Amino acid sequence: MLRSHTCGELRLTDVNTEVTLAGWVQRVRNKGGLLWVDLRDRYGVTQLIFEEGSTDKSLLEKAASLGREFVIQASGKVIERTSKNDKIPTGAIEIKAETLEVLNAAKVPPFIIEDETDGGDELRMKYRYLDLRRNVVREKLQLRHRMMQETRKYMDAQDFIEVETPVLIKSTPEGARDFVVPSRVNPGEFYALPQSPQTFKQLLMVSGFDRYFQIVKCFRDEDLRADRQPEFTQIDCEMSFVTQEDILRTFEGLVRHLFTNVKEVQLGEVERMTFADAMKYYGNDKPDLRFDMKFAELNDVAQGKGFAIFDQAELVVGICATGAGEYTRKQIDALTEWVKRPQIGAKGLVYVKCNEDGTYKSSVDKFYNQEDLKAWAEKAGAKVGDLILVLSGDAKSTRKQMSELRLKMGEDLGLKDRNVFKPLWVVDFPLLEWDEETQRFHAMHHPFTSPKTEDIPLLETDPGAVRANAYDLVINGVEIGGGSIRIHDRPTQQLMFKHLGFTEEEAQKQFGFLMEAFEYGAPPHGGIAFGFDRFCAIFGGSDSIRDYIAFPKNNSGRDVMIDSPSTIADEQLKELSIQVELKKA
């Protein structure tokens, strides 16, 4: 070993010990006859001291020539520091250096490699190998490592078997776009990279494996944002001979295990809510329960008073912003402009202030008297000092707009505490959702999700009303995982394919192998997949998953460090029997 200790482990108890350290030069402070070097490795920082008189002159000169990020090895004796640094664990000692060897000189890095850096996002992504030297980035990957190990520990204790599934698979038409890989030995044919191991984990259940899991890389060619990457990681799980309740309890156990052993947080009750209630009261299927602000439907108390905007609306809905009654006209005007932005799409915003004297001040006082506004306040649960915000229009878009406004108010009022965790199971999702573009129903989750038995007759009469045996785990407004009880017999799977618009030939071509497997004794089964990168970001208190991925892509799906994707040589294309013809935009 080139070192006897790391740069993070020496303490006062090690004084007078002869040690050898190796690492990167964080900084050099040269006071002429006295020079200090902060030496950094993955474990911490230790200060080296070189002093004129007690240090050989050539050694002092060598130390003075060191630059930032030089890789060095230094030996010497541990001594007590006269001026201690209580901000680092090694701050009570330093190394009186006796030897110094430069293992590798370094160019001046393009940004400061410290917690507070001067490097922008794109620059740090280009030099990601340097960015990874920073404590704040490395700690995120160490958190990821701990979560991975604790996941495996819990799953192993629950008798799950970790099984790897193929990365080169068959392209399927449902879900996001596939990444495809040409086959050299089968010209004109393509593999796809898996969006998830869905069919393989079901086949493992048919194989009798009973309990499967995998921490697996998945790929989706979709528009990117802070919580999306073209390649991402799932904790993928499947169980046989279980009900939905068994799955919820098993994986609620995993979530509790991770919070206890990684975050040292004891979770309270994990609430449950139907999809219908989530949409009715929060306007989305992943409500943030760290704050209340439930929707209050006001049609019965707001319509019929001569205010045409409300009278013509399918839905009039409000939220109560507790303690926001002191909002100024300027603040409310800013909110109004915010909801009218194209991204939100509301035509306007109505407000009611609940004054300290028990009266109400509204932007629609012309149409509503004090008794009318009192009725609004009672329905919204508003009290003195609160602010009621009201939107109206068609039900679907108005709920979506109010959901965005609710989240903004939660942010503005400081209600999104990153140290508070509110997990929620959302259950009873619709089996199908209508797609206006294709004019047909699509599976809300995937084609293998089973319908509620009592709802199967509705497939013929009202497909949109059929509920699925599907569930999502939501934490603080972020979907962390989702799954379902699967279809496990051929007739039901064929029925599902029929209602998704597959011909028998298409279903056989795409999924014939799975339906045939069902005829050889498939057990009832179900599972769940957790977005591992999102899970890590929640634990780390971040909105973006990128810092929890060692080498992430940017918003264009590019790795700017290795300049990928890139063109390939004509000879490679010829081997793959591929000719590239780019269409003009």
Is 535 flagged in the annotation as binding?
A: no
Sign of the Cα torsion 119, 120, 126, 132 reads positive
98 is in an annotated binding site: no
Q: Nearest Cα to 357, choosing from 370, 346, 368?
A: 370
What residue ranges in 300-372 does DSSP mark as E strands? Answer: 315-321, 350-354, 360-362
479 appears as a binding residue in the annotation: yes
Report the alpha-carbon distance of residue 458 to residue 466 in Å, rounded.
6
Q: Is 229 annotated as a binding residue?
A: yes
> 221 among the known binding-site residues?
yes
Annotated binding residue at 223?
A: no
Structure tokens at 50: 């070189």
Contact 531, 255 (CB under 8 A): no
* Omega within 30 of 0 (cis) for the link into 109: no
User: 545 vs 142, 414, 553, CA distance in Å?
Assistant: 14, 22, 11
- One-letter amino acid at 174 equals E
| Main-chain dihedrals φ then ψ at residue 222, nearest 5 degrees | -135, 170
What is the helix (H) or strand (E) element at residue 526, kind and residue range? strand 525-531
The percent helix, strand, coil of the chain (3-state, each to 5) is 30, 25, 45
- The whole-angstrom separation of Cα 445 and Cα 443 is 5
β-strand pairing of 161-162 with 211-219 = parallel
Question: Strand 161-162 and strand 44-51: pairing?
Answer: unpaired
Q: CA–CA distance from 519 to each of 370, 452, 489 (Å)?
A: 68, 22, 7
Say if residues 359 and 370 touch (Cβ distance below 8 Å): yes
**222 annotated ligand-binding residue:** yes
How far is C-alpha 223 from the geometric centre of its chain's CA atoms?
15
Helix (H) or strand (E) holding 235: strand 231-240
**Rounded Cα distance, 577 and 365, in Å:** 72
β partners of residue 93: 80
The separation between CA 548 and the C-alpha centre of its own chain, rounded to angstroms, equals 10
Q: Cβ distance 103 to 74 under 8 Å?
A: no
Torsion region of 17: left, alpha or beta (phi above 0 gives left; psi -120 to 50 gives alpha): beta
Read off φ and ψ for residue 547, nearest 5 degrees.
-70, -10
Which residue type occupies 334?
Answer: A
Helical (H) or strand (E) element with 538: helix 532-540
d(CA 155, CA 86): 40
Check whether 264 is labelled as a binding-site residue: no
- Give the residue numbers of the binding site: 174, 220-222, 229, 445, 479, 486, 531-534
- Give the residue numbers of the binding site for ATP: 220-222, 229, 479, 531-534
- Give the residue numbers of the binding site for L-aspartate: 174, 220, 445, 486
